[in-house]
Chains A and B, each alone.
Chain A
């Protein structure tokens, strides 16, 4: 029993913390925003420190329902830190419009518990519960500015489409359960091992479709641009970061641990989805005028590349997915930290790409940071964004999928176009009215930190250690 509690310690801590914060929010009201935010951040950092299987191999809890291995540890630490950053980003942004509420950190904490369960799921039902806990908090967060029409619309859209995806997922789970007789990943894998029946195949497809919705892979990406655009910017930043990592880790685990024997079958689906995502994410982003919509397509594009790593289906492939999501998390959070600072002279938040024109002359530091993130997202060395693509393609080549790597790489040129277009707008265009200068040191510090990780400093020094960690983490799946 004790080991069950030990392996779930981070989630338990977060559960207790979120309930305490909820009560505090109810009693202290919205004035306690700052206090609750910092307490929430502390809880997340504490949870990240408590994550088991960092030094040892970890194990399973509750009879295999919950897996605390290195893979889960890697993803969990990323998720918790990402959530903490998303929490910190939000306070001052909402405070400008006097919109900050004490529920915000609580909702992020609930969502984090869900994400922790997602990456540790060893059973289709744990998976479902974790996913729903994460999603339900996310629906509320999307409509957090409830008097703003766009925000409300985003929340509703997300909810309806999310419910549809949950339905698909549940249907897939029932099929798999019906045809293999168990919901444990191990059992499902054993059931698939003796030949794949029609029913199992359908179950597999529906489960993958449900999760593809969460990672916003084509063709289940439709909600992404609208929700990203409508949700308040800090919430968008959160959606684009931690939950993406959790969902990709979940997908990797389900595909490899739960459906390992059916690799040939799901590989086709994953390859299609990967290429469709990279192409659509690249092409559709070109015409965007809203930076949040653009970043939505950018996230679709990036998920496509990460899926190429999954398609390899090997240890290196899984490691490349983890590595990809780690770097993606930093790049995304950094980009959104810049977007959060986009406020016109009157302090009103702006989202149009045109307003970035000539930023290098009005705000050289901010422009340099943004350009760094853009070149990095385009995957140009010597910026960190090069390595995730590198490892993903390496995994594909090692798995005899060189053709996939070649096509994937060709599509990355499409993506590069709109990233360098932003750089052009930042550096070559005539300056638009300057943004308001903000004295907001938390965000500034985080921005510098993320930019440094992405910069050549991280490129040369962090890559090796991070990849070793990712490889160790991925080993526990095999």
Chain B
């Protein structure tokens, strides 16, 4: 069955579900503890999963099934890319529960149940090996997220919840038609088999566009990103963390898992679309972020800009680009999650997200200011933080593919530095303009623990990214082998220089002895 001898993925799916069921029948405090314990148990299982994952082993590990369920099979299995995204999910979940510990005051059991349900569905998306099983998990996530935004969100929560739900639904339904066509054509619902199936080139374009409709909304790419700022601003803190940390990654995961390997020709043919939209996104959303007055909105727009690096990197058709994009996904999951939590921390104290209401927080909240500084730097892409590794690689890949794209995308880094540093300056430096902001207490233990945990991983990923890239390396290699036949020629014309001559051929320096 697998290296562990028990169906670990099914267990990972079942555990949060069980926790959710218990939460529904528990009192508020009991539900909190149940949720926390469940997520920690899952994280423990996840660590076991990671340590027993064989780097360089078979492509699909921990395979379960297929069990025939009629129209689809219960088939699970992960490769390195899925493993890392599952780890991201499992790592963020206890932090989300901790972030909601005190800020959610009513209907706690339902809230915790929604989050645990969400965890199951997110893991399911990354672990599914059956096309329709994937779709079920992918779309089912709408239900708990709709409730989380709609019930526990801010003032405009209803509008944001509708927008989130309907945008995403329309995109994913078009993908469903494409899936039906593919299954009809290939006669199988198994994702690994479909990844090796060559679809006719003329059909690929349509299929690619249908998948694109879904993933572009999820990602989100300009111009279908408008649901994101609304959803982020209105969602409770933990909802934003999950949304930015994991849900957006489903779009990138979809491109890696479906669009690229299944439709390589169409990907190459429509690469201009990806590049164009991503370039607009990088510059435009960065500029929009620059003028935001609401902290959450600013970070939401910066997410769109960062996700554009992911799409640029993925469609660079080379190793640096794809690996870089994957690291950006992981890093952004951590960093944007942490930034949303930082906003949540001060929102819990002052109940406003207006940037102007704060200032000089470094004076009364030194620990907070330090951590916020770290995450700001990671978002900007400072070396030794996780942000640098991914963005550097992605841009390197983009340069090899198309130097104009790389040029425009790089301006996004400059703009990113501008809006993030300016945000930090306005919030943390100077003297406080408001007495209530100046009186805010520093981080408590719970907040320190959750933000500290993310900070540690951000630094880890920045200093030694190999831990995270090693499991994904061979999968990126397989993906490249699949798409290189269609790879568009790069304009950088990178050429390896003449190999340095071996030492033996060097004329002896100096005189002989």
A interface residues (Cβ-Cβ under 8 A, vs B): 360-361, 375, 380-382, 386-387, 390-391, 393-394, 397-398, 402, 405-406, 409-410, 412-413, 416-417, 420-421, 423-424, 427-428, 460-461, 463-465, 467-468
Determine if A406 and B174 form an interchain contact, defined as CB atoms under 8 angstroms apart.
yes
Determine if B176 and A464 form an interchain contact, defined as CB atoms under 8 angstroms apart.
no
Q: What are 13 A-B interface contacts by the 8 Å CB criterion?
A: A380-B139, A381-B136, A381-B139, A397-B177, A398-B184, A409-B173, A413-B169, A420-B162, A423-B146, A424-B150, A424-B158, A463-B70, A468-B70
| Minimum Cβ distance to chain B for residue A282 (Å) | 12
Give the CA-CA distance A405 to B173 in the complex, in Å: 10
Give the CA-CA distance A465 to B110 in the complex, in Å: 33
| Minimum Cβ distance to chain B for residue A236 (Å) | 28
Determine if B71 and A420 form an interchain contact, defined as CB atoms under 8 angstroms apart.
no
Given contacts A381-B135, A406-B210, A423-B147, 10 further A-B contacts (CB under 8 A): A380-B139, A397-B177, A413-B169, A416-B166, A420-B146, A420-B165, A424-B158, A424-B162, A428-B150, A465-B70
Known: A380-B139, A424-B150. A413 touches B166 (CB 8 A): yes
Residues of B within 8 A of A (CB-CB), count = 33
Give the CA-CA distance A123 to B84 in the complex, in Å: 63
Give the CA-CA distance A119 to B203 in the complex, in Å: 40
- The residue of chain B having its C-beta at the shortest distance from the C-beta of A405 within the complex is B177
**Cross-interface CB contact of B71 among A390, A413, A421, A423, cutoff 8 Å:** A390
- The residue of chain B having its C-beta at the shortest distance from the C-beta of A466 within the complex is B70
Which 5 residue pairs are nearest across A and B when measured between Cβ atoms? A464-B70, A381-B136, A409-B173, A397-B180, A428-B150
Within 8 A of A (CB), among B116-172: 132, 135-136, 139-140, 142-143, 146-147, 150-151, 157-158, 161-162, 165-166, 169-170
**Cross-interface CB contact of B180 among A393, A421, A463, cutoff 8 Å:** A393
Known: A382-B136, A424-B161. A410 touches B71 (CB 8 A): no
Contacts of A463 in B (CB 8 A): 69-71
Determine if B157 and A428 form an interchain contact, defined as CB atoms under 8 angstroms apart.
yes
Determine if B173 and A410 form an interchain contact, defined as CB atoms under 8 angstroms apart.
yes
Contacts of B136 in A (CB 8 A): 381-382, 386
**Cross-interface CB contact of B184 among A380, A394, A413, A464, cutoff 8 Å:** A394
Contacts of A420 in B (CB 8 A): 146, 162, 165
Determine if A406 and B166 form an interchain contact, defined as CB atoms under 8 angstroms apart.
no
| Minimum Cβ distance to chain B for residue A283 (Å) | 14
* Interface residue B404 (Cβ < 8 Å from any Cβ of A): no
Determine if A464 and B140 form an interchain contact, defined as CB atoms under 8 angstroms apart.
no
- The residue of chain B having its C-beta at the shortest distance from the C-beta of A461 within the complex is B69
Contacts of A386 in B (CB 8 A): 136
**Cross-interface CB contact of B147 among A382, A406, A427, A468, cutoff 8 Å:** A427
Give the CA-CA distance A416 to B139 in the complex, in Å: 13
Contacts of A416 in B (CB 8 A): 165-166, 169
Determine if B177 and A406 form an interchain contact, defined as CB atoms under 8 angstroms apart.
yes
Contacts of B170 in A (CB 8 A): 410, 413
* Interface residue B181 (Cβ < 8 Å from any Cβ of A): yes
| Minimum Cβ distance to chain B for residue A11 (Å) | 32
| Minimum Cβ distance to chain A for residue B206 (Å) | 8
**Cross-interface CB contact of A380 among B69, B132, B142, cutoff 8 Å:** B142
Contacts of A393 in B (CB 8 A): 176-177, 180
Give the CA-CA distance A461 to B68 in the complex, in Å: 10
Contacts of A460 in B (CB 8 A): 69
Contacts of B169 in A (CB 8 A): 380, 413, 416
Contacts of A409 in B (CB 8 A): 173-174, 176-177
- The residue of chain A having its C-beta at the shortest distance from the C-beta of B70 within the complex is A464
Determine if A390 and B176 form an interchain contact, defined as CB atoms under 8 angstroms apart.
yes
CB contacts between A and B, total, < 8 Å: 87
- The residue of chain A having its C-beta at the shortest distance from the C-beta of B170 within the complex is A413
- The residue of chain B having its C-beta at the shortest distance from the C-beta of A372 within the complex is B143
Contacts of A402 in B (CB 8 A): 177, 181
Contacts of B140 in A (CB 8 A): 380-382
| Minimum Cβ distance to chain A for residue B199 (Å) | 14
Determine if B174 and A428 form an interchain contact, defined as CB atoms under 8 angstroms apart.
no
**Cross-interface CB contact of B158 among A360, A382, A428, A461, cutoff 8 Å:** A428
Give the CA-CA distance A30 to B157 in the complex, in Å: 52
Known: A381-B136, A423-B146. A467 touches B173 (CB 8 A): no
- The residue of chain B having its C-beta at the shortest distance from the C-beta of A409 within the complex is B173
Contacts of B180 in A (CB 8 A): 390, 393-394, 397, 405
Give the CA-CA distance A207 to B132 in the complex, in Å: 39
Contacts of A398 in B (CB 8 A): 184
Contacts of B176 in A (CB 8 A): 390, 393, 409
| Minimum Cβ distance to chain A for residue B25 (Å) | 10
- The residue of chain B having its C-beta at the shortest distance from the C-beta of A378 within the complex is B169
Contacts of A360 in B (CB 8 A): 110
Contacts of B147 in A (CB 8 A): 423, 427
- The residue of chain B having its C-beta at the shortest distance from the C-beta of A427 within the complex is B151
Contacts of B71 in A (CB 8 A): 387, 390-391, 463-464, 467
| Minimum Cβ distance to chain B for residue A345 (Å) | 24
Give the CA-CA distance A331 to B107 in the complex, in Å: 28
| Minimum Cβ distance to chain A for residue B115 (Å) | 15
Contacts of A465 in B (CB 8 A): 70
**Cross-interface CB contact of B70 among A382, A412, A467, cutoff 8 Å:** A467
Give the CA-CA distance A416 to B166 in the complex, in Å: 8
| Minimum Cβ distance to chain A for residue B68 (Å) | 7
Which of A375, A381, A390 has the largest count of B CB atoms less than 10 A from its CB?
A381
| Minimum Cβ distance to chain B for residue A369 (Å) | 14
- The residue of chain B having its C-beta at the shortest distance from the C-beta of A379 within the complex is B173
**Cross-interface CB contact of A464 among B69, B142, B150, cutoff 8 Å:** B69
Contacts of A380 in B (CB 8 A): 139-140, 142-143, 169
Give the CA-CA distance A193 to B270 in the complex, in Å: 47
Determine if A413 and B150 form an interchain contact, defined as CB atoms under 8 angstroms apart.
no
Contacts of B210 in A (CB 8 A): 406
Give the CA-CA distance A375 to B144 in the complex, in Å: 11
- The residue of chain A having its C-beta at the shortest distance from the C-beta of B136 within the complex is A381
Contacts of A391 in B (CB 8 A): 71
Give the CA-CA distance A21 to B69 in the complex, in Å: 44
Contacts of B142 in A (CB 8 A): 380
Which of B139, B158, B169 has the largest count of A CB atoms less than 10 A from its CB?
B169
Give the CA-CA distance A416 to B169 in the complex, in Å: 9
